[in-house]
Amino acid sequence: MLHDRPEGMRFTDLVDTLHRNHPNRTAKAIGNDVVGLDRALPTQVFKPSKGLYMHCRFRPDDQVPPVQEAGKPGPRARRSAPTLPEQLFYSSFANWLRDDLEEVTQVIVLGGNTFRDRWGTPDVLGKFESRRSDVVKGMTLIVASEVKVDVTDLLKGFGQACAYRLFAHKSYLVIPQHTPTDELDRLEALCRMHGVGLVTFDARNSTRPSY
């Protein structure tokens, strides 16, 4: 499968394809196998970046097509009201943050007012820790994320993501792909200035949000 994909495959796409080819196995079981694929088959599979799997025949010595940056904005449409509640996206983003982006090793969904303060309660909270097998141990990193599906609520979401920087090493603001162009440009500039990661997704499709 990877042998014929010079651009490689992201974790989610690889799991989905394997699941279609092996429907007798659960997606979760396949995902557990894929996570350590580069370590189980080091002569066949490698990861040039977090969450991207490639066949070893396409190592840097060969010409590799550029890979689209995670969270790059997709097609933008006009402003419209959200059709799905943001709670539907918490778990899928948590999985994407852990499995595709590999920014965390453990992650939980909080959302709402878990800490009785919406400015101190991220929708998704995770941490990154070095594996026991790692020769050099790094420090533990806390990663907080705020998910918004309503494009009229994005500035408040940005403020919340900034507030999470008070206790987290990294903070992400997750917003719809159909955010108006001018507002998206403004948020992108603000996020760069304040060190907040910006991720876009399809807020109209909870099955395949395409983070």
Looking at the structure of the chain, the number of domains it has is 2
Q: What is the pLDDT of residue 69?
A: 52
For residues 23 and 109, state if they share a domain. no
Cα-based distances in Å from 173 to 35, 42, 47, 87, 159: 25, 35, 26, 15, 9
Q: Is residue 54 part of a domain?
A: yes
pLDDT bucket at 132, cuts 50 / 70 / 90: confident
Instruction: Decide if 12 is inside a domain.
Output: yes
Question: What tens digit of pLDDT does each residue of 52-102 get?
Answer: 888 888 777 543 444 555 555 555 544 455 568 999 999 999 999 999 999
194 and 155 in a common domain: yes
| Least trusted range by pLDDT, from 114-118, 143-147, 160-164, 197-201 | 114-118
Same domain membership, residue 40 and residue 109? no
Same-domain check for residues 191 and 98: yes
Q: So what's the pLDDT on residue 120? A: 72
Q: Do residue 99 and residue 54 come from a single domain?
A: no
**Which residue in the block uniquely carries the two structure tokens 């557990």?**
32
> In this structure, are 46 and 91 located in the same domain?
no
If pLDDT is split at 50, 70 and 90, which confidence band does 164 have? very high
How much is the pLDDT for 78? 46
Output the pLDDT for position 173: 98
pLDDT band at 119 (very low <50, low <70, confident <90, very high): low
Helix and strand numbers (H, E) in the chain are 6, 8
Residues 133 and 33 in one domain: no
Query: What is the model's pLDDT at position 102?
Result: 92
- Residue 67: inside a domain, yes or no? no
Residues 124, 186: one domain? yes
Return the DSSP state at 198: E
User: Is 9:67 a contact under the CB 8 Å cutoff?
Assistant: no
In a domain, 111, yes or no: yes
Pick the closest to residue 98 from 67, 126, 70 (CA basis).
126
Pairing, β 45-49 against β 52-55 = antiparallel
Q: Is residue 112 part of a domain?
A: yes
pLDDT score for 177: 95
Distance CA 171, CA 149 (A): 17
Q: Which has more confidence, 70 or 32?
A: 32
Q: What is the pLDDT of residue 6?
A: 80
Helix (H) or strand (E) holding 39: helix 37-40
Residues 38 and 96 in one domain: no
Q: With a cut of 90, say whether residue 2 has pLDDT above it.
A: no
| Tally of CB atoms within 10 A around 119 | 14
**Is 82 a domain residue?**
no
Residues 43 and 111 placed together within one structural domain of the fold: no
Q: Is 40 found in the same domain as 105?
A: no
Domain termination site, one of 58, 76, 106: 58
Q: Would 195 be classed as within a structural domain? A: yes
Which run of H or E residues covers position 145?
Answer: strand 141-147
Q: Indicate if 116 and 193 belong to the same structural domain.
A: yes
Please state the rounded mean pLDDT for residues 167-182: 95
Rg (CA), the chain: 18
Domain that holds residue 8: 2-58
**Whether the predicted pLDDT of 10 surpasses 60:** yes
